[in-house]
């Protein structure tokens, strides 16, 4: 099978088409014929070598990518699943060595795969698993109650947008940041209050919520710059492993989607929310898989709203 991999770290140009053996599903696993794979910031980080130490010892070529959608092709022996061969499915991938989403065929735990939302294309569905599961983990970690207030930085991004929408399904008040050009987008996602984005966002949040918010999801990677927005004893959910010093009882909680990679019921619930119109799938552009380098260049240029998706034709 064909995949998009790399044998050395570097810029987008290191991505190349490689030939790999067709993977066979084992016990508890299924194989998916990939139609679409999403390009995420984590992919560019792995490609660049920032996680080289974590990847040390993995066989090459490295195949990256964490979301797929396509057709269920084969079910492994003694695998319990309500899915049937031929159904369109989506799943979350935890890349390791040549195992990653940028491939024509991917073997996954059956618990990492669910049906695509009804009426949704594989390209759209591929944008859901990784970011929405991370957003769900964020809200589960913050443990906020109906009526409490959450702040979301990076609200116009895919992760931040999902946090905003999921927070509204849980009855939370949402304060979100946005650039001027993104205000209507973020308002449309359901934010109750919008403040200008940037390093001073904590001060701006305090101006509209004087006592501080109950919890904060830091999709903008502002790290310790957001702690001033949170009330005493509140929680901050961070991505990219950041964990800062606690003050006033405010604590940092890194969220890692690996923890939810086989939470099938949670992913299936997110599928239901898409079908109910409560979660919005956003595709910025499609690229043939062979042009993965171009997709990486566009993502790293910044300003993308929605996800870039690689397509595999068969």
DSSP sequence for 259-278:
GGTT-HHHHHHHHHHHHTTS
In this structure, are 254 and 136 located in the same domain? yes
Q: In angstroms, rounded to a whole number, what is the distance separating the alpha carbons of residues 132 and 123?
A: 15
Residue 270 lies in a domain: no
- Residue 314, pLDDT score: 56
In this structure, are 199 and 223 located in the same domain? yes
In this structure, are 63 and 103 located in the same domain? yes
Residue 68 lies in a domain: yes
**Alpha-carbon 87 to chain mean position:** 23
* Strand ranges in 228-298 using DSSP code E only, listed in sequence order: 230-238, 251-254, 283-288
In this structure, are 19 and 110 located in the same domain? yes
In this structure, are 42 and 152 located in the same domain? no
- Residue 172 belongs to a domain with what CATH number? 3.40.50.720
Last residue of a domain, one of 217, 243, 258: 258
Residue 268 lies in a domain: no
Phi/psi for 160 (5° steps) reads: -60, -40
Residue 267 lies in a domain: no
Per-residue pLDDT of the chain (314 residues; tens, 9 = 90+): 999 999 999 999 999 999 999 999 999 999 999 999 999 999 999 999 998 888 988 999 999 999 999 999 999 999 999 999 999 999 999 999 999 999 999 999 999 999 999 999 999 999 999 999 999 999 999 999 999 999 999 999 999 999 999 999 999 999 999 999 999 999 999 999 999 999 999 999 999 999 999 999 999 999 999 999 999 999 999 998 888 888 999 999 999 999 999 999 999 999 999 999 999 999 999 999 999 999 999 999 998 999 999 999 85
Tokens read off for 119: 């009426």
- Residue 18 belongs to a domain with what CATH number? 3.90.180.10
Using left for φ > 0, alpha for ψ between -120 and 50, and beta otherwise, residue 180 falls in alpha
In this structure, are 115 and 153 located in the same domain? no
Residue 265 lies in a domain: no
In this structure, are 142 and 230 located in the same domain? yes
- Residue 303, pLDDT score: 87
Residue 83 lies in a domain: yes
In this structure, are 124 and 135 located in the same domain? no
Q: In angstroms, rounded to a whole number, what is the distance separating the alpha carbons of residues 252 and 4?
A: 36
- In this structure, the number of other CB atoms found within 10 A of the CB of residue 9 comes to 15
In this structure, are 120 and 15 located in the same domain? yes
According to DSSP, the residues that pair with 76 across neighbouring strands are none
Residue 89's domain comprises: 2-128+281-311
Q: What is the pTM of this model?
A: 0.96
In this structure, are 38 and 109 located in the same domain? yes
In this structure, are 85 and 30 located in the same domain? yes
Tokens read off for 199: 């390093």
- Render the burial of 100-130: b for 16+ CB within 10 Å, e for the rest: bbbbbbbbbbbbbbbbbbeebbbbbbbbbbb
Residue 216 lies in a domain: yes
Do the Cβ atoms of 307 and 282 come closer than 8 Å? yes
Residue 211 lies in a domain: yes
> What total number of domains does the chain contain?
2
In this structure, are 13 and 106 located in the same domain? yes
**Alpha-carbon 308 to chain mean position:** 12
């Amino acid at each position: 099978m064909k995949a998009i991999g790399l044998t050395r770290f570097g810029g987008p140009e290191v991505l190349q088409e490689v030939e790999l053996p067709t993977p066979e599903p084992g016990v508890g696993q299924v194989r998916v014929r990939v139609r679409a794979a999403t390009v995420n910031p984590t992919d560019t980080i792995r490609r660049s070598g920032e996680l080289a130490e974590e990847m040390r010892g993995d066989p090459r070529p490295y195949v990256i990518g964490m979301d797929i959608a396509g057709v269920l092709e084969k079910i492994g022996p003694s695998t319990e699943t309500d899915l049937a061969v031929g159904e369109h499915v989506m799943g979350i991938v935890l890349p390791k060595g040549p195992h990653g989403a940028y491939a024509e065929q991917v073997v996954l735990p059956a618990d990492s795969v669910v049906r695509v939302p009804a009426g949704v294309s594989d390209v759209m569905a591929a944008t859901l698993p990784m970011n929405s599961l991370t957003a769900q983990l964020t809200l589960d970690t913050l443990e906020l109650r109906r009526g409490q207030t959450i702040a979301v930085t990076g609200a116009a991004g895919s992760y931040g947008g999902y946090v905003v929408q999921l927070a509204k399904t849980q009855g939370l008040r949402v304060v979100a940041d946005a650039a001027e050009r993104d205000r209507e987008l973020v308002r449309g996602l359901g934010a109750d209050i919008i403040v200008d984005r940037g390093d001073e966002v904590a001060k701006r949040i305090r101006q509209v919520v004087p006592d501080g918010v109950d919890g904060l999801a830091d999709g903008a990677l502002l790290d310790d710059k957001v702690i001033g927005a949170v009330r005493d004893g509140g929680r901050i959910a961070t991505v990219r492993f950041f964990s800062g010093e606690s003050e006033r009882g405010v604590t940092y909680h890194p969220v890692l989607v690996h923890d939810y990679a086989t939470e099938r019921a949670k992913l299936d619930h997110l599928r239901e929310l898409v079908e109910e119109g409560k979660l919005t799938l956003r595709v910025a552009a499609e690229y043939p898989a062979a042009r993965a380098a171009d997709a990486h260049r566009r993502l790293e240029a910044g300003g993308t709203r929605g996800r870039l998706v690689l397509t595999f034709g068969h």
